[in-house]
Every structure is written in C-alpha cells, then in structure tokens.
Structure 1
Amino acid sequence: MTKLHDFTADTISGSQDVFDRLAGQVVLIVNTASECGYTPQYDGLEKLYADYKDRGFTVLGFPCNQFGEQEPGEGQEIQEFCRTQYGVEFPIYKKTDVNGLHTHPVWEWLKSEKPGPNGAQIDWNFTKFLVDQSGTVVARYEPATTPDELREPIEELLEG
C-alpha cells in the first residue's frame, strides 16, 4: 500500500525532498496560487504551521498555475511572495501540475485516495489533503474550507 512517505518532490529552491522524513508527522498538503481569491489562506496555513510544528505537524505548499493561470511566477518569485506577503515558513515546492498528463505522482496518489466532488480531479486552488502520521490520507477539503476550520481534525490526529 502506498503512503505519503513513498514520494519525493522538488522544493522551490530545486533540491529534492524525500517524504519519508515526514514519518510520524501530521501533514497538510495544499495546491496554492499567488493571485487567487483564496490566496489569503496562506496566512491561516502559516498560523497552523506555527502553532503545531513543534507537535509534529507540517504544511506542504504546491504552487499550481492550472486554474485561471493564478500562479504565473516561478521559483524565487513565488517563494519571495509567500514570505514577504504572508510570512510563510512552511515548505513550498516547485510549481506543480495537479491534474492532467503531467500531474505530479503525489497528487495522483492524493486524488486516488480521496476523490472529490468531481471524482479524481482537483477543481481549484487551495484544495487540501490531511495525512496522518502513518502517511495515510485521512481527509480532503475543498478550497472554501479555511485553515482555521482544520484545527480540530489536526488536533485530533496530533493527540492520537
């Protein structure tokens, strides 16, 4: 059975992150964009990360330009935006396709584990997947779900 810990992804700075380092952590994976109506969720995501990182929680942000071309930037530009506008310290990855022919393998897996309202598709930016300490997807949240609404399920997983 595939787990989150079986995957890797390229960080925004170009290094490869091996997700087996996340074993034992609760992880929230989000497809993000800098010019979306949901972009202010970066603030809430960073607050979740700051509040829970010392308890074994992280957020993984995957910028995506597939929805209304709302992530036109690249690499350093995206990272700079996230840090200066929202104080983002959680890991940000290389711009990623979450649908279609070039979908990143971790996103293929996420969608197969927890299909959404339209099946195994991501419908918009800021779709979120919550993964438990064993690397299993436990929930999918659509873009309108705010980071603050995820506090209870995150705390439940952290308390075990």
Structure 2
Amino acid sequence: MNVKIINTSSHELPKYQTPCAAGMDICAHLQVPVLLKPLQRKLIPTGLFMEIPEGYEAQIRPRSGLALKNGITVLNTPGTIDADYRGEVGVILVNLSDSDFQIEDGDRIAQMVIARHECAEWTVVETLSSSDRGAGGFGSTSK
C-alpha cells in the first residue's frame, strides 16, 4: 500500500523495526524537551502529515517498552487517524508512573498501525437473533 506523507521533522519516516512487525515506530518532533510529570498528559507533535487511502485508518498505539519500563502510554489508545484528516499527527501521552519522564526530540514515542476498516450501515429492527451468551456482560463468561 502506498501512503502519501509529508515529514516536517528531521527524523526518519515511520518504519517497521522487524520484518514481521505490524506497527511502525513514530518519533517526537520537539523544539524543546517535554517533561511529563506523574499522571500528566500532553499532546506530542510528530511533524507527520498523511493522506491515508479511503477504507483505511492509522491507529496510534503505545510502545510496550515505554509502558513497561517507564509507565508511559498513549491515553486514547488506539488513537484513530481517519483517511480524510490532513493535519499533523499528534500523540497524546500520559505518565502513569510515580516519576517524571522527559521526552526528547526524536524519541520513539508510539507505534502506528495502518488497518482496513468497514463503514457500518444500520438496519433498525424490533428483535435480535438469540445466542448462547445472550445479554451476559462483563465477567459473564468467567467461571
């Protein structure tokens, strides 16, 4: 798949770190470092602008290493970038640790997955088909 991209940062384009990776690492594009205090959230710019093909979205997800080692995650995970959005890609990071965390220009802050999606068309009905689960909700399948 070919995705048009503008990169206003001095960093590499998003890239897969291994041949079988689903997510591409994306970097912070900062004029000055950003300090994230415990439980603080901030929008981190990337310098990336994309034209995603219709029928696809870009999902912004946490990097597992940042989450495990530092408690840094993407707040609205997965963040969705729609095919008709043309603004700069930003990543909402939150610090869930008890320590300050500094983000530097060029740090790999999240990963991006390009995924196909469908648009739903609603059919209003009076009843739904039955299933073994029925209306069982949270915890209903646990024993």
- Scaled to the shorter chain, the TM-score interval is under 0.3
- What is the TM-score normalised by the length of structure 2? 0.27
Which structure is higher in helix share? 1
Which structure is higher in strand share? 2
> Which has the larger Rg?
2
